Structure 1
């Protein structure tokens, strides 16, 4: 049966390169894609993988007999948008019926087992973004011999609102995880259909950045996602951003007053205009605002039955190789930190004491030894507290149960060195989308672009080889395993570096009971 399927795929792929379009049969009906001759890659955009009904699990997508034109992006999920969109970046029109995905696949006969599959989860603080943003174009990764999938999932209150009445009506008592259920539905669609696009459903790598990386860890911990992917990559994410239902219900009570609906009145909630729901989301959701946001995955006992850190420690994702890391200067672009950040060591001391009552003195001493400027120390602290250490921590926990690798991106644009290796810089580098607005200004000179391309070529080979074999390798460069005392440094000259976790995350280590 598999051989027959590949034979059909080869005939279809061969026809696509010569013809005006490409038709592939999915379980819901045929879809028509397009061809990129510059990269010899086929693309399919806006394919529905499920249907969204407000605060219900994703329903099966509609069946269609006539070919679905999949050459343009589908709608994004309702949101106020991410910062790149506000700066002029592309974001499709929005609709509550937004559960669609995009596929890029080599226009070549696949190997007998099929191409490795890489499924990407976008970031955006769980309140914004879309798999169709131009920065996530999968063409260049697919040209390396993988099938790339990006997708939308419900966001903000539509994706992560927890209401007691919603839990009561759900047969599993679940609420607050509609966005995660969407991601799981997309992975199930991939299992059903990716073979038709030349992919191997038995070799799926799930990767994501920021809130997408946090989602990856949540799905590693979820019993519902077991077996739907086989390798994982966490980029600037980590496993600590989940909430209890009690926390979710407290926030829902406050939101109920704002929208004028009683907590138990689901008819009122479901009749609200979507704009009224979006107004429940702060206009800017990054940085400190994200830490306080109620729109995160919830420990509902069904989608998530334990905190992801505990689940990884217990071996819930045993056998799933993990590559996890972060950018060296995640917090450098946090505007409010520049404006309101501590300008004196005493002010930094107060902030450290508030967040770490028992270990602040040693932490302050270490930062004073590392930095002359307390604001630089504060940037480092926030980087390490929010994204850097949680990401590397995931790799350390998973190392007891599967091959695990850690990386740090230290590259910075030579045109904007003060920005450092800021949050999100890994995206145009990994996808090779250097010319996408607003990232293009970072690589606007020939020399800056050449440097960035070196980083891109290394990252793409590392990520693709990890998807193919479970080992991140780029030519002679192979990432060191967690526990070796080293991590992978990504820069214009990539290589090994001493494991930064003991120095930069010693306080996380003590909080988590001595992670080694």
Structure 2
């Protein structure tokens, strides 16, 4: 596969940059689900390995917020493993969100801070019942987001499906992924992967403590969307993480390949140059203020959750690193990771991913292009293959307009091809099953400033799988959603949440009034299309995928 040009690459990462900035709050108003309660609740106390914490029970769910799962990661712990948690006496409040990592301020959350290792827990009861545990990793690329974003509030999943939900804040960007292994010595081994090692530390906390929250430490699912899907892809391939989870879901963020050591080292060199620090004096990095580091971080491009090519010279920025130790190999290149061969997996994408990026980039004019315009819109990314791509899609979608073909092409290349590649490589392993999906519920909204349907944009699945698309209760404050206002969204949300929670419980995604979801295989190549009415579609997009394979945009086995 030929390397992307600088212009092509920047066009692509700029979309991820938009997502990283807007994903955490895009679907929701300041009236956050965290505070939408019909009663003031009552306090509940829970023991942990380091001391007792006080949460709040509201509407049948115990919620503990801002729980420390690691010690400081500032000072001499910057770029290193966190300090141990210090035990406490008495009862510590777990009633407010913890600080997210360094990033622009987040609506309704504490000020971002370097010390950010906090998690939130939702459980039906602290009763030692051994419920399945669902540990979610937020989106926002590798530079933005938190476990406190409204659309991923875990109360409805816990209440309606009898599971325990956990979400983390963890280091991101320069603080989470600056590769210092080659210049800083043994104490900094894994520095390029601190962001995902933080999540591993949270999973260890879950293993040691979740029984006190009614969860089963031996039945843990990890899942994540967009950048969270990329991070989940890494966790699925990391030896240190392996003991702490049993199944996974990678959603609209197929992390097939990650940064190589050479590319990560080049990013480090550029950071040092920006700060006028030599490699020999790298320790001066510890004296730079967090805000200065954030300013430096913002000068770099954003790394998408996927990489088409393992040798992309323009891929300079912050994201997980194949360092040969903490992340021994690319998550799904050349094969699915042996270390998770026996762990079931879900992977898939939304049908109209690209609508989100048209919206966030203010490119509504793309919804009005003609077929004469279409080649010029695709050539910067696809070059000499553009004519083949357009011809294939015009044959497979004979009634489609030029904007519809643009949407289909951009959506499948953003998140679809990597998802198919993961499914095929996992299925080829002949171990635990893998399940491929397309989320297809159609919003009744238009892309702002246009008459073009929003469809099923990137990120809209978050509130659906968390069952947060539900009829409002009396006294609840309404919130704006990408899904629009059609009440049939409640049906699709319940079905998606039920599929995910049953997968957490059994390793097989299932739901009432949903057909049996077959594991992906090379005979029928089944995909579950998730909507108000779910259906299994065999060999979906077969002509298009054959074409993508033929031009080497989808790796064949």
Whether the TM-score (by the shorter chain) exceeds 0.5 is: yes
Judged with a 3 Å threshold, the aligned counterparts in structure 2 of structure 1 residues 290 and 466 are, in CA distance, closer, same or farther, namely closer
Give the secondary-structure state (helix, strand or coil) at the position aligned to 1:473.
coil
Match of 2:98 in 1: 74
- The whole-number CA distance in structure 1 between the counterparts of 2:458 and 2:325 is 32
CA contact 2:61–2:124 (8 Å) conserved in 1: yes
CA contact 2:263–2:316 (8 Å) conserved in 1: no
Matched, 1:415 2:445: yes
- The whole-number CA distance in structure 2 between the counterparts of 1:513 and 1:285 is 26
- The whole-number CA distance in structure 2 between the counterparts of 1:508 and 1:402 is 27
Residues 325-334 or 58-67, more deviating: 58-67
Q: How far does residue 293 in structure 1 lie from its aligned partner after superposition?
A: 5.6
Residues 122-131 or 59-68, more deviating: 59-68
Of residues 485, 489, 508, the one that matches 1:452 is: 489
Match of 2:508 in 1: 471
Give the secondary-structure state (helix, strand or coil) at the position aligned to 2:340.
coil
Matched, 1:148 2:165: yes
CA contact 1:49–1:60 (8 Å) conserved in 2: no
TM-score by length of 1: 0.86
Judged with a 3 Å threshold, the aligned counterparts in structure 2 of structure 1 residues 258 and 380 are, in CA distance, closer, same or farther, namely farther
Residues 452-461 or 379-388, more deviating: 379-388
CA contact 1:121–1:150 (8 Å) conserved in 2: yes
CA contact 1:174–1:301 (8 Å) conserved in 2: no
Matched, 1:362 2:391: no
CA contact 1:315–1:401 (8 Å) conserved in 2: no
Q: Matches of residues 388-403 of structure 1 in structure 2 within 5 Å?
A: 388-399=416-427, 400-403=430-433
- The whole-number CA distance in structure 1 between the counterparts of 2:545 and 2:100 is 37
- The whole-number CA distance in structure 2 between the counterparts of 1:258 and 1:25 is 46
Q: How far does residue 290 in structure 1 lie from its aligned partner after superposition?
A: 9.3
Give the secondary-structure state (helix, strand or coil) at the position aligned to 1:190.
helix
Of residues 135, 155, 163, the one that matches 2:151 is: 135
Give the secondary-structure state (helix, strand or coil) at the position aligned to 2:296.
coil
Of residues 353, 356, 379, the one that matches 1:350 is: 379
Match of 1:9 in 2: none
Residues 329-338 or 247-256, more deviating: 329-338
Give the secondary-structure state (helix, strand or coil) at the position aligned to 1:77.
coil
CA contact 2:300–2:316 (8 Å) conserved in 1: no
Q: How far does residue 321 in structure 1 lie from its aligned partner after superposition?
A: 0.4
Q: Matches of residues 487-506 of structure 1 in structure 2 within 5 Å?
A: 487-500=527-540, 502-506=542-546
CA contact 2:122–2:158 (8 Å) conserved in 1: yes
Q: How far does residue 100 in structure 1 lie from its aligned partner after superposition?
A: 0.6
Larger RCO (CA under 8 A, 6+ residues apart) = 2
Match of 1:42 in 2: 62
Q: How far does residue 430 in structure 1 lie from its aligned partner after superposition?
A: 1.7
Match of 1:107 in 2: 125
TM-score by length of 2: 0.80
- The whole-number CA distance in structure 2 between the counterparts of 1:187 and 1:108 is 18
Match of 2:341 in 1: 318
Residues 384-393 or 335-344, more deviating: 335-344
Residues 183-192 or 471-480, more deviating: 471-480
CA contact 1:90–1:134 (8 Å) conserved in 2: no
- The whole-number CA distance in structure 1 between the counterparts of 2:293 and 2:496 is 39
- The whole-number CA distance in structure 2 between the counterparts of 1:465 and 1:222 is 25
Match of 1:267 in 2: 283
Matched, 1:406 2:436: yes
Match of 1:331 in 2: 354
Of residues 87, 91, 103, the one that matches 2:109 is: 91
CA contact 1:92–1:132 (8 Å) conserved in 2: no
* Structure 2: unaligned runs, 5 residues or longer: 1-38, 308-314, 447-451
- The whole-number CA distance in structure 2 between the counterparts of 1:438 and 1:290 is 35
Give the secondary-structure state (helix, strand or coil) at the position aligned to 1:279.
helix
Give the secondary-structure state (helix, strand or coil) at the position aligned to 1:294.
coil
Q: How far does residue 401 in structure 1 lie from its aligned partner after superposition?
A: 2.0
Of residues 33, 46, 57, the one that matches 1:24 is: 46
Judged with a 3 Å threshold, the aligned counterparts in structure 2 of structure 1 residues 229 and 222 are, in CA distance, closer, same or farther, namely same
Residues 196-205 or 247-256, more deviating: 247-256
Give the secondary-structure state (helix, strand or coil) at the position aligned to 1:30.
strand
- The whole-number CA distance in structure 2 between the counterparts of 1:281 and 1:244 is 19
Aligned residues: 482
Give the secondary-structure state (helix, strand or coil) at the position aligned to 1:140.
helix
Matched, 1:180 2:196: yes
Greater fraction of residues in helix: 1
Q: Deviations over 1:457-491 (max 9, x none)?
A: 10111111000011111114232211143211111
What is the aligned-residue RMSD (CA, Å)? 2.9
Q: Deviations over 1:314-363 (max 9, x none)?
A: 53311100111110111112144827968623314533544xx6x55533
Matched, 1:481 2:519: yes
Give the secondary-structure state (helix, strand or coil) at the position aligned to 2:219.
strand
